């Protein structure tokens, strides 16, 4: 909300790395800037999570 940009490697989100560029472009800022939501791939990432730097684990039974 204060204009800063946070970026992390795309590989940190397996859902986003498998998404199309169009799906990744469809993003919404949520919670007064506390995170981002990609509705096309059902992914939510918090600003705190990006700053901490913990990649999202892929579920073991993901199809």
> Could you read off the pLDDT of 8-57 as tens digits, one per residue?
899 899 999 999 999 999 999 999 888 999 999 999 998 888 888 878 88
Whether 51 contacts 8, CB under 8 Å = no
Identify the pLDDT of residue 59: 80
CA distance 32 to 49: 15
pTM (predicted TM-score): 0.79
Instruction: Give the model's pLDDT for residue 57.
Output: 80
Distance CA(63)–CA(14), nearest Å, equals: 13
Domain-by-domain residue ranges, the chain? 28-54
Residue 62 in this model has a pLDDT that exceeds 80: no
pLDDT of 3 reads 79
Q: Are 33 and 1 in contact (CB under 8 A)?
A: yes
């Amino acid at each position: 909300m204060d204009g800063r940009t946070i970026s992390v490697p795309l590989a940190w989100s397996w859902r986003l790395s498998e998404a199309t560029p169009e799906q990744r472009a469809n993003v919404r800022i949520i919670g007064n800037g506390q995170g981002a939501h990609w509705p096309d791939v059902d992914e939510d990432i918090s600003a705190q999570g990006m700053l901490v730097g913990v990649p999202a684990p892929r579920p073991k039974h993901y199809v």
